[in-house]
Amino acid sequence: MPTLQFRFRLAAFAFASSIPCPTVLAESPGTWSPVPLVSQELRDAGVRIGGEGAQWPQEIAIAPGDGDFALFLTDVGGVYRSLDTGLTWEPTNVGFTPRGATDAAFDPHFPDRVLMAGMNTMGSAFNGLYLSEDRASSWTPVRREAVSGHEDARQKLAFDPTTRDDDAGVTAVVYWSRTAEVRQDHWGEIEYDPGLYRSDDGGRTWNRLNDAASAVAGHSWIDVVPSGERAGRLIATNERGVFVSDDRGETFERRFDEPVTSVAACPVRDGVVYATQAQAVLRSEDAGETWTTLQTRGLDEPIADERGPDAVPGTPRTNVRFNRIAVSPADPDRILMASRADNWRWLRHVSHDAGRTWHTVQIDDARAFFPQNAREGAFAWHPTDPDVVLSFGGDWPTRSDDGGMNFRWSAEGQNAVYSGSPFAFNPHHPGLLFIASQDYNGGVTRDGGHTWTYPNVSGYGWGGFVYGGLAISPEVIVGGHADGGWGADRWLRRSTDGGATWAQHDDVQWASDRNSPAFGYDAGLVCPVDADRAFVSRFRTEDGGLTWTPMQGVSGVLAADASGVLYGVHRLSGDRSALVRSSDAGDTWEVICQVPGYVDDLAVTPEARWLYLASRDRLWRIYPGMNAEAVLGDPLVLIETPQTDTGRHRVATVAVDPTTPGRLYAGQRMDIHSASAGVLRSDDGGQTWVNLNRVKPLSRDVRDTEQLDGGREPQFLRVDPHTGELWATTGCYGVWKYTP
């Protein structure tokens, strides 16, 4: 086969010929199914739809007038809804553009209504306030602001329950303490403009209050006194103390002049309010006018704990800070709060006697697939059952049925694992797959995703950064371990016993930095015509993964046709890449063409008629077998795809269905916010498209398993060659498969 050396200028790439197509945003018939990582042992123990979690939770809330309806908010993995008090969960992101959320406030009199502060690590102009009036079945933006909210644990949304308006069907007055950007070094769009806002129509429209509220406009926790002589009083707490307003936020007066870390008005005792300081619990009997420090037992001594990654067993915690206090509306003597300490030694504490004595909360993670990690507690008390509470257990939901003394895993359906690298089905072993995970090592399945085993590639449990995972056989599994964190060099680790034990290849290393001479794609592939030949990044094996040798002229192998010809990308110096091909199992590589920029993904049709690539946010096509004389115009052809709701294209992954001629998938993700047209399908090679992401509201009353909100923010798409099902690993929205 002759070597092809197509060259063209940068301008040629930008103005290449294109295949026009209509922008089709209708939903396609088909079914999204979550693929939670759950072991056979867990299934035998009764776990039905899994729920490994694995994304930083921010808040959990239960509707005060409907104890079944709950929300679980993550940082960059979207929002989940429960309609059975946390026993099962489903993603609920229809119309919700932010990647995550940090606070939710239910209308106290109309529980179908809920406001949410949509924001996450990365600032975006599509963040801000979102309103649902159909039990989180869909969302509408009511005030978009370019804010971020990483670890912003404040209660910053609060309804005034004294302003019920039955004619309008809303609790009229609601407040928002806009985020104070304390970490402006993060990515994205951020406008630093702290302020206190008020809505007088139940959250549909908003006005910024005047400068008289400047004392509480920054990083304040807020709540409203629900009953008693001062019902409707707004209380705001921050590092400057406690402030109260009796004119709906127009003016404030300070009632306590020491730093306060959280506040909660008692839902059923007139005028009783609790607050926390770094190492004290405060109580007010007069709606915040005066405060006393509780003489608490159980909190007066440092608590020894072993959970932090750097903690020494049996040593006391240091620099303890209390916050996130929450009072039960069913039994006001029951209170929960969280505490932070150095080295991630974070705990939760419960009192059943109005804060006089406290106990350390215990968490049962027996049904969790991934190791438990430390996260700051947040609590949602059931409105009528004092024994039922929802919280976190690391990165997944938990539930207590004994008033917060003990919490257990309760994450069915909450599937938010992140996989940061391409995955590959094994063409010789149906059902075999290793999906590597950033933070959690990943999971291996041998039955097409029904059950999984946990491979502790790094040896760290939580904190294992693994990329480029590949199951070469049921016994031999490999992955690139980044010991120094996300951007560190990867070292190949290998297991020969199905993932039970791991050894490192000290001579097999690649860099994630695209500008490094040692750069390699975090991609793996098994040769379709030789089960012993496999490829990970710039390396290949010919003996089933026992030994590895570097390849020249390729940075990663991303696709192969049915005859075994390999297709990859070679990252060149400067802002250039080369599409390359090998017909001799990786011994030599020939250049198909050069393209400017970075190539995110490749896919080839089984007969090698077309090679598709995702590059520079668009989808392209080339005929890889063309000779130079046969080329008419530029070698790359632009394929038009539907835009996202932001009016942009952001194609980052592509997949071909080898079982159905003409069927092609493309994936768009926005990263700093969520794309409504994320997973796209074409049945005619890219001429027309349908959107596979859900755009119509979910069912209001039941979990509709036939119409789940799946596949958002796809990182990589691949079609299982044995079943024809599309699999999607996502940017913290979990693992999903789509059955056409």
> pLDDT by residue (tens digit) across 561-579?
999 999 999 999 888 999 9
Contact 499, 400 (CB under 8 A): no
146-147-150 Cα angle (round to 5): 150
Q: What is the mean pLDDT of residues 368-383?
A: 93
Percentage of the chain exceeding pLDDT 90: 78
Would you put residue 161 in left (φ > 0), alpha (ψ -120 to 50) or beta?
alpha
Instruction: State the pLDDT confidence band at 630, using cuts at 50, 70 and 90.
Output: very low
What dihedral do alpha carbons 488, 489, 494, 498 form, nearest 10°? 30
pLDDT at 315 over 90: no
Per residue, the 3-state secondary structure of 555-595, as one string, reads CEEEEECCCCCEEEEEECCCCEEEEEEECCCCCCCEEEEEE
DSSP class of residue 213 equals: G
Q: For residues 304 and 287, give the distance between their C-alpha atoms in angstroms, rounded to a whole number.
A: 35
pLDDT at 10 over 50: no
User: Tokens standing for 329?
Assistant: 């509306």
Instruction: State the pLDDT confidence band at 707, using cuts at 50, 70 and 90.
Output: confident
Q: For residues 2 and 24, give the distance between their C-alpha atoms in angstroms, rounded to a whole number.
A: 40
Per mean pLDDT, which range of 15-19, 192-196, 333-337 is the poorest? Answer: 15-19
pLDDT at 298 over 50: yes
pLDDT at 311 over 50: yes
Q: What is the mean pLDDT of residues 448-456?
A: 96
CB-based burial of residue 17 (10 Å sphere; 0-12 exposed, 13-18 middle, 19+ buried)?
Answer: exposed
Q: For residues 201 and 329, give the distance between their C-alpha atoms in angstroms, rounded to a whole number.
A: 25
Per-residue pLDDT, 735: 96
Contact 435, 459 (CB under 8 A): no
pLDDT at 289 over 80: yes
- Integer CA distances (angstroms), 318 to 278, 339, 640, in order: 12, 11, 57
Per mean pLDDT, which range of 375-384, 455-464, 582-591, 659-668 is the poorest? Answer: 455-464
Per-residue pLDDT, 185: 55
Contact 299, 361 (CB under 8 A): no
Per-residue pLDDT, 216: 78
Contact 335, 354 (CB under 8 A): yes
| DSSP three-state, residue 492 | strand
Contact 157, 176 (CB under 8 A): yes
Of 638 and 626, more confident: 638
Q: What is the mean pLDDT of residues 110-127?
A: 92
Mean pLDDT of the chain, nearest integer: 90
Q: Within 10 A of 300 (CB to CB), how many other CB atoms are there?
A: 9
Which of 319, 318, 354, 317 minimizes the C-alpha distance to 336?
A: 354
pLDDT at 61 over 70: yes
Which of 132, 156, 134, 153 minimizes the C-alpha distance to 142?
A: 132
Q: Annotate 135-183 with DSSP letters as a single string.
A: TTSS-EEEEE--B--TT-----EEE-GGGEETTTTEE--EEEEPPP-S-
Single pTM value for the model: 0.94
Q: For residues 644 and 638, give the distance between their C-alpha atoms in angstroms, rounded to a whole number.
A: 17
Per-residue pLDDT, 152: 84
Instruction: State the pLDDT confidence band at 89, using cuts at 50, 70 and 90.
Output: very high
Of 8 and 264, more confident: 264
Per-residue pLDDT, 295: 86
Contacts of 740 (CB under 8 A, 6+ apart): 28, 29, 30, 660, 663, 681, 724, 726
Q: What is the mean pLDDT of residues 297-304?
A: 74
**Long-range pairs of 534-542 with CB within 8 A, sequence gap ≥ 24:** 534/470, 534/472, 534/478, 535/566, 535/586, 536/468, 536/470, 536/478, 536/480, 536/492, 536/508, 537/468, 537/480, 537/490, 537/510, 538/510, 539/492, 539/508, 539/510, 540/585, 540/586, 541/472, 542/585
Q: For residues 570 and 513, give the distance between their C-alpha atoms in angstroms, rounded to a whole number.
A: 14
For 122-143, write each residue's pLDDT tens digit. 888 999 999 999 999 999 999 9
Instruction: State the pLDDT confidence band at 24, using cuts at 50, 70 and 90.
Output: low
Per-residue pLDDT, 455: 96
Instruction: State the pLDDT confidence band at 85, using cuts at 50, 70 and 90.
Output: very high
User: Tokens standing for 34?
Assistant: 């979550």
Instruction: State the pLDDT confidence band at 703, using cuts at 50, 70 and 90.
Output: confident
Per-residue pLDDT, 6: 29
Per-residue pLDDT, 486: 87
Q: For residues 98 and 405, give the distance between their C-alpha atoms in angstroms, rounded to a whole number.
A: 34
pLDDT at 23 over 70: no
DSSP class of residue 42 equals: H
Contact 118, 98 (CB under 8 A): yes
Per mean pLDDT, which range of 2-16, 441-455, 600-614 is the poorest? Answer: 2-16
For 496-547, write each residue's pLDDT tens digit. 999 999 999 999 999 999 999 999 999 999 999 999 999 999 999 999 999 9
